[in-house]
Chain A
Amino acid sequence: MKLLAKTNRYYLLLTTVLFIVASAVLYYGLFGALQHEVEEQLVNRRVYLERRVQDGGNLPTSPFEYQMAVSPRPQRIGYGDTLLLDPHEQELVPHRQLTFPLRVDNKLVWVTLRKSLVETEDVLGVVLGVMVSVLGLLLLGVILINRWLGQWLWAPFRNTLRVLRGYGVQQDQVLRFPLTTTDEFAELNQALTLMSQRLVADYEAVREFTANAAHETQTPLAIMQAQLEQLLQRPELENPELATLVSELYGATLRLSRLHQALTLLSSIENQQFKQASHVRLDRLVEEKVAHFESLADVRQLALRTHLSGVPSLQMHPGLADSLVHNLLQNAIKHNHRGGTIDVKLTPTHLEVRNTGPTVTGDPARFFERFRKHQAASDSPGLGLSIVQQICQYYGFAVRYDFEPTGCLHTLRVDFAPPALFPAPTGEGVSQLGQPQF
């Protein structure tokens, strides 16, 4: 709920309660005052009648007989309310009446004086009407003013939000906001600008560090690998014990360099260093990759089948497209068992790799985590699916993992979500890369 709607709700609640209480107090106050006024008039008339009778006069006859009644029988003394029929309008009209005993010519009679309350009610109606409409207008005014204030006063805040939503560190820009005269918003904007400055500086430092670290690590690794290879050529290495030692060292160096390459790729994607994009023919890429993995699948007696039913039109960095398909297929081969199957399905909207494999436990979402391995002792660093996820995230694709216990089928599905689809010119092929990057 909006902050403004929330405050409005409380305003409204308070105003309504005040409104009801004020109306009640006003009504009963006014009613009491008017009734008191009528009673005073009745008393005045009684005093007048008593004086007149004392001075030896008769009871006057009123032209409106319902205003005064004289009865020889005892009546209840004091004020009372009654309804009398108005002969003209043929309706019952409320009256206030005062009954008192009076001695006329030594005979005791009971006189009842009446006064209509119609005028009183009219006055009450008018006053209440005016008050209620004033209060109503006030209420409406409060709501309208708040709404207007909400639009006008909070405009800088909404603007700030809009800028923040569109902000990404990768843009390498400090946040800029238009000037605002509201202190709170100006302070907020200033704090955000400062924060973005720090972010940009930190991001730049991290990016530089990653690039430098990548370069500086790769060179010693290359030296180690080359030297070890030379060492393996020595005649002394005919000794199997020595050979095993050096060979394991060599294998470890390779693993380290592979891990390093994967991490460098991941951080490069995170740093959005693959801005360049071209039209990618995913069907050709899939066929190429399937051919590439075919012999490896043969060795493990896997049936590798492709089902191409349409080609998505994608703008991607050719290297990332290569890496995506490569990792999906490699994953399907790695986590499979002898004699299993792999089905690669490509449609205009999604790419799906379904393979048989051992039952897995645990949260599927965690399979995409870095260094997540099916077997802890495995040689692979467990970065394949992280790379897949990172690439998908980069292009706004949705990637999903499903496991069907019947038949132990693992499915990885990449949906090319609409925002990432661009109509692209055809005829341009996948760029040929010497080697896949990972």
Chain B
Amino acid sequence: MKLLLIEDEASLRNTLVEYLRQAGYVCEVAGGYHQALEKIKLYQYDCVVLDLTLPDGTGLDILRALKVDGSRAGVLIISARAALDDRLTGLDLGADDYLTKPFHLAELNARLRAIIRRRQFQGSHHIAFRDLLVWPEQAEVFVREQPLVLTRKEYDLLLFLLANPNRVLTKEAIAEHLCGDAVDSADSFDFIYTHLKNLRKKLQEKGADNYIRTMYGVGYKLSTE
């Protein structure tokens, strides 16, 4: 999967690129408006991660250019501008999703996967992980060919973990993914603990291996070994 990351802040860009490459994307970068415009004219991307405030232009214009060209690339806006209006303008212009800085890397990945899934594989895509098989379009989960019934939150949690295999997911990132960004930590940690406990129990009942590892004090990790 080929990504274009448009971000003017060098150190944030580097961290994001490192992360996205680890997550298995082919990632190209642009540090400014003109460079970005050039790249989207020359190459095809599956998804564009777009910062709105650029030194030599606005990300919204890049978004417009993409739409004018009839590009098939998904667009995820990341912006420091917390302004609600920008979010609405971005979504109106045809962006697929919007993340306000600062964000969790795992959240970025989960959203990217969702966008790419929606755009590229119409229902034929599945996620396989060890003895687990998930059909995201139908929201169906199978453990060793047996269907597994999950609650909405448990399913979201599992999908979030599956989007970031072998990575430590902080409890804050999980809580925000499940409850939105304004839930207070103390409450939401109870909350994710409960859901994780239930998810693990259900997986074990179907005889799945215990691959959700607890990272003490930090969070959880979907282990590949």
Contact = CB atoms under 8 A, between A and B. Distances in A.
Interface string A425-438: 00000010111111
A61 interface: no
Contact of B82 (A214, A223, A229, A255): A214
Interface stretch (A10-18, A84-92, A294-302, A411-419): A294-302
Interface in A240-268: 240, 243-244, 246-247, 250-251, 253-255, 257-258, 261, 264-265, 268
B216 A240 contact: yes
A319 interface: yes
A223 B181 contact: no
A435 B100 contact: yes
A229 B170 contact: yes
A218 B215 CA distance: 28
A229 B190 CA distance: 21
Q: How big is the A interface, by class?
A: 35 or more
Contact of A299 (B11, B98, B181, B194): B194
A326 B180 CA distance: 10
A264 B12 contact: no
A251 B22 CA distance: 23
A431 B92 CA distance: 11
A230 B19 contact: yes
A342 B184 CA distance: 18
Contacts of B1: none
Nearest to B187: A296
B191 A251 contact: no
Given A222-B12, A436-B182, A261 B82 contact: yes
Interface stretch (B66-74, B83-91, B128-136, B199-207): B83-91
Given A222-B102, A243-B218, A326-B182, A276 B187 contact: no
A296 B215 contact: no
B59 to A, nearest CB: 13
A380 interface: yes
Interface string B105-125: 110000000000000000000
Contact of B187 (A226, A255, A300): A300
Contacts, number: 156
Is chain A's binding surface mostly helix, strand, loop or mixed? helix
B64 interface: no
Contacts of A222: 9, 12, 80, 101-103
A261 B100 contact: yes
Given A219-B9, A230-B105, A296 B80 contact: no
Nearest to A276: B85
A359 interface: no
Contacts of B15: 223, 226-227, 230
Contacts of A251: 172, 185
A411 B62 CA distance: 48
Given A222-B9, A254-B185, A295-B178, 15 more contacts: A218-B102, A219-B80, A219-B101, A221-B102, A229-B19, A257-B102, A264-B82, A268-B83, A273-B83, A300-B187, A327-B182, A380-B184, A433-B88, A435-B100, A437-B82
17 contacts: A214-B80, A215-B80, A218-B82, A218-B102, A223-B12, A225-B102, A233-B167, A237-B168, A243-B216, A247-B170, A255-B185, A276-B85, A300-B187, A300-B190, A334-B187, A433-B88, A438-B182
